Amino acid sequence: MRGSIREANLYEFQRFLKLLAARTAQDLNQASLAKEIGLTIPTIRSWISLLEASSIVYLLPPFHRNFGKRVIKAPKLYFMDTGLVCYLVGLQSAPHVLDGPMAGALFETAVVSNFRKTIDAYGVRDCLYYWRAVAGLEVDLLIDRGGKLLPVELKVSSTLTPRHAAGLLAWQRLASPKFRRLGRVSVRISSRTRKFARSVLATSESSRGRWRVSGETWGWW
């Protein structure tokens, strides 16, 4: 990769990487990145393309079919290696991670990147999305398997509250009927799986992305 970056830009590229790592699991805003670093948007775009082609970052596209202008359409950016994120932002221990402001973003990054690696291994393409309404309600991950969508909410918590299911229930209300019938899953740090709310199943990340929903097993392995 270094051969693709001019020597004069190595310092700026390092600053760019650190700033990008601090924004993992967030919307990709190239204009904001360019302004903060003092570079042009085309340069930021080319560097992100290079990172994506090198499998260092992954751009999660938004799902907006049947929702029109009511949803956000910018992709979200995730690093494929949470260890690299921790190194770039200076997180040096597990307590430092779990007690810090990036705990949720790192957990989300770990789950989404693992799904991306798994579907790549099985040759499945274009089946992961996220959804966010203009009003702010969001589903962190949508898994599309043959036109059937499973919404997944990602939370770092040992105790769930009704607000954790707000995005999932909003999706249920707004989605077309063929999507609305599917079960809902919330992934979190916990040791057990249980019914949390109507059509919402709370499960541990240790299930490694394989769930029984509406009589079906969701997963590729």
Residue 154's pLDDT is what? 85
Residue 128's pLDDT is what? 92
Residue among 193, 130, 188, 129 at smallest CA distance from 164 = 188
Residue 200's pLDDT is what? 61
SS3 203: strand
- SS (HEC) of 116-174: HHHHHHCCCCCCEEEEEECCCCEEEEEEEECCEEEEEEEECCCCCCHHHHHHHHHHHHH
DSSP states of 58-94: EEEPBP-TTTGGGB--SPEEEES-HHHHHHHHT--SH
Q: How far apart are the first and last CA of the chain?
A: 32
Q: How far apart are CA 83 and CA 97, in angstroms?
A: 11
Domain CATH number, residue 173 = 3.40.1350
pTM: 0.82
Place of tokens 């042009």: 40
Residue 181's pLDDT is what? 46
For the packed helices 82-89 and 103-121, what is the interaxial angle rounded to 10 degrees? Answer: 150
Q: Answer yes or no: is 145 within a domain.
A: yes
Q: Answer yes or no: is 30 within a domain.
A: no
Residue 89's pLDDT is what? 95
Q: Answer yes or no: is 168 within a domain.
A: yes
List per-residue pLDDT tens for the chain, 221 residues long.
Answer: 555 566 557 888 999 999 999 999 999 999 999 999 999 999 999 999 999 999 999 999 998 766 555 566 789 999 999 999 999 999 988 888 888 889 999 999 999 999 899 888 888 777 899 988 777 778 899 888 777 788 888 888 767 677 777 787 787 777 766 665 454 555 555 555 555 555 565 565 544 445 444 444 445 43
Q: Do residues 101 and 115 touch, judged by C-beta distance below 8 A? A: no
Q: Answer yes or no: is 36 within a domain.
A: no
Q: Answer yes or no: is 34 within a domain.
A: no
Q: Answer yes or no: is 13 within a domain.
A: no
Residue among 149, 104, 154 at smallest CA distance from 128 = 149
Q: How far apart are CA 40 and CA 49, in angstroms?
A: 14
Containing structural domain, residue 209: 58-218
Q: Answer yes or no: is 19 within a domain.
A: no
The two counts, helices (H) then strands (E), for the chain are: 8, 11
Q: How far apart are CA 25 and CA 112, in angstroms?
A: 9
**Tally of domains in the chain:** 1
